[in-house]
Structure 1
């Protein structure tokens, strides 16, 4: 059994959150809304159709592996040094470095943005920051989030997951640009 889907269709069909089940489509109940729903699903670019009002934006799989390489490559070097080290102190330093590089590798793979319930969660290499939607003033082309704290202090948080490079494949650059566009639309809601 396919579970019901809740989605905010915005201006695509009708404002509000609709709960539609496959049975609605088969039975013809609310047929205009159901037809509009399926048309919006085919034509819409997320986040127009969001499941449970949560949107997860992450780079492509190849980019995620490349982002984790920042920790994997030095971790391999630390392992090689650990195997060759003879004294206790160099082994301890190599173990600590290995743990740090492993953390960077995992966080590099998990780089991304999560938009949920009026909060933007930006996962970076070293920290994860949660930002209230009301505080967001701009999503820059860098890309970064310009925002203000409840006390009015101006802040800036880079989104390293969607930074582009001129040597990058154009499809990857396009994917990242679309993700930043989706993020801008979410911030304006």
Structure 2
């Protein structure tokens, strides 16, 4: 089962389906446990119900976001889909993809930045998941080494 896809805007790398489902389920279970505790300890008091609904909503959002984590990359740059936010980084701003994994880059004003790629990070992973994540990190580290095509020149013809 491949979780790497190509689209008109470039390539996409996502964690294995197994990993995505486990991460999403983890957030759903945590939210359910907290809601259960709140209702058990507070009863159906209005404040407890409101807090439980907020915790449930946050749990659902985090479950969806963790399932959708990944990286999209192409000739324009890279887009990191994280747990809390997405970040687009232009290709010419990227200085390195680290083994952590993270993107080291510089903004237009010259400031150095670091954007973690949590989709492929983790410790204590199952061996097959760890190998796949290492493969994805290597893909990202070598992607930016590809020669850059001049957009004003036409693409070479295939024979």
Range class of TM-score, shorter chain? 0.7 to 0.9
Stretches (4+) displaced over 4 A: 81-84
Greater share of residues in helix: 1
* C-alpha RMSD of matched pairs (Å): 2.0
Contact 1:108 1:125 in 2 (8 A): yes
Contact 1:135 1:149 in 2 (8 A): yes
Q: How many Å separate the matches in 2 of 1:51 and 1:74?
A: 34
Q: How many Å separate the matches in 2 of 1:163 and 1:101?
A: 21
Query: Is residue 186 from structure 1 mapped to residue 143 from structure 2 by the alignment?
Result: yes
Q: Which has the higher contact order (CA 8 A, sep 6+)?
A: 2
Contact 1:70 1:108 in 2 (8 A): no
Contact 2:39 2:48 in 1 (8 A): no
Q: TM-score, normalised by structure 2?
A: 0.80
Q: Structure 1 residue 172: deviation in Å?
A: 1.3
Q: Structure 1 residue 169: deviation in Å?
A: 2.1
Query: Is residue 64 from structure 1 mapped to residue 20 from structure 2 by the alignment?
Result: yes
SS in 1 for 2:144: helix
- Judging changes above 3 Å, is the alpha-carbon distance between structure 1 residues 136 and 82 closer, same or farther for their aligned structure 2 residues? same
Contact 2:6 2:12 in 1 (8 A): no
Unaligned runs of 5+ in 1: 1-46
- Judging changes above 3 Å, is the alpha-carbon distance between structure 1 residues 86 and 164 closer, same or farther for their aligned structure 2 residues? closer
**Which residue number in structure 1 is paired with residue 154 of structure 2?**
none
Contact 1:71 1:105 in 2 (8 A): yes
Unaligned runs of 5+ in 2: 147-159
Contact 1:146 1:155 in 2 (8 A): yes
Q: How many Å separate the matches in 2 of 1:73 and 1:137?
A: 38
Q: Residue by residue, what CA displacement relative to the aligned partner does 1:107-136 show, whole Å, maximum 9, x if unpaired?
A: 111111011341211011111111111100
SS in 2 for 1:131: strand
Q: TM-score, normalised by structure 1?
A: 0.68
Q: How many Å separate the matches in 1 of 2:7 and 2:60?
A: 32
- Judging changes above 3 Å, is the alpha-carbon distance between structure 1 residues 53 and 128 closer, same or farther for their aligned structure 2 residues? closer
**Which residue number in structure 2 is paired with residue 154 of structure 1?**
112
